[in-house]
Amino acid sequence: MKVGIEELLRDSKREQFRILGIEERRMYDVMLDANENSNGSISGAFYNHFPDSLQTNLREAWANVLSVNANNIAIGHGLDQVYDWILNLFVEPCQDAVVIVAPSSCNFSRRALIHGALLKYATWNPDEPFNSEKIVGFLTPEVKLLYMATPNDPTGMPIPDDVLDEITQSFNGIIAINESYLDFKKPNYTNYHKYNNIICIRTLDYAWGMAGLQLSAMISPKTIINIVNAIKNKYNINSITQSLAIQTLRFAHELKDWVAKSHKAREKWVYELQTCSSILKIYPSETNFIMVRLNDARAAYEKLIAAGIKVMDVSSLPYCENCLRLTVGNSVENRKVVEVLETL
């Protein structure tokens, strides 16, 4: 039987929300409450006012893109801040278990350890079809939260919708779905609407090409968003970042074509990489990166580094022995990688 996501909150978070409430600062015609400099900014720009603490306009812009209510979005400074919110709200340190669907190269496991979670890894072999029964087998009573990414990093493979449904229907805890790369597969879509125990995570880092902003979103029921807004740093997103993000989201109508350019470059690169005898397998991907299995990933990695090319060695991850994750670059960068790997 499904429970409401609010029922899974740590008791201490409920109490903090009751005491703190939401400290919101709206903009009025005359702002004389925060000791801001009424002469403006010394640089000549108008950044003398503190930023909107709830990022109202930004939340509305992102909500329109994702077809969700703005009240269901909280804006975080990078993915790690959103990870911290989720773990802080739901995971009791040294008591609650967190299951991470692996292989996973993201920073969620590191943040979970810092928060005192008891970690378990539900591994799947990217050489085989995704098996929901194996994941469900890890969801024992002490597990409070399940984390998975679709598309997966480092493989670039999405979790099939039917498998995602089977897992979600089998678990009454929190399911955090990292959709950081979903814009490469389904622009303007989120799994948030599917079930009442899902929290989705989005970012402008990858498909939108705005990694320098370090801006991410947590999509969740309003009750959870209200508590996030009560416990987060008041001014966690500065005015310049909010403004640039809003401008970026106005290009949502071009995202599909923008993503298509990445797909075209990836497929061209895959074709070129197939000439490299050192590569045993190129995994299918729906993102801006690919995972390849080599005869000797470490030798390939060191050869690429020596040529001034940085890639990700994911060989230490489950079922990723001798694998590298390669981000799709421009045509010149991609060709350099091929040239190095052809020498092995």
- At 26, is the pLDDT very low, low, confident or very high (cuts 50, 70, 90)? low
Q: Tokens for 110?
A: 């590191």
14 confidence band (pLDDT: 50, 70, 90): confident
Cα end-to-end span (Å), the chain: 55
The yes-or-no verdict on residue 1 having pLDDT over 60 is no
| Residue-range domains of the chain with CATH | 7-250 (3.40.640.10), 255-341 (3.90.1150.10)
Side by side, the strands of the sheet bearing 279-282 are 279-282, 289-294, 323-327, 312-313
> What's the mean pLDDT in 14-18?
77
Mean per-residue pLDDT, 173-178: 95
Strand runs labelled E in 124-214? 143-149, 174-178, 198-203
Q: CB 341: neighbour CB atoms within 10 A?
A: 23
Two tokens at 327? 């981000």
Tell me the average pLDDT across 250-258. Answer: 95
Rg (CA), the chain: 22
Peptide bond into 129 cis (omega under 30): no
Strand (E) or helix (H) holding 215 = strand 215-219
pLDDT at 123 over 90: yes
CA dist 183 and 189 (Å) reads 8
Q: How confident is the model at residue 277 (pLDDT cuts 50, 70, 90)?
A: very high
State both tokens at 38.
Answer: 């009424």
In this prediction, residue 11 carries a pLDDT of 83
Confidence of residue 195 (pLDDT cuts 50, 70, 90): confident
User: In this predicted model, what pLDDT tens digit does every residue of 207-243 receive, in sequence order?
Assistant: 999 999 999 999 999 989 999 998 899 899 999 999 9
What are the residues whose beta carbons fall under 8 Å from the beta carbon of 149, sequence distance 6 or more?
A: 101, 104, 106, 177, 178, 179, 180, 181
Q: Of residues 264 and 231, which shows the higher confidence score?
A: 264
Residue 2 has pLDDT above 80, yes or no: no
Task: List residues bridging with 73 in a β-sheet.
Answer: 219
pTM of the model: 0.94
Supply the pLDDT for residue 25.
65
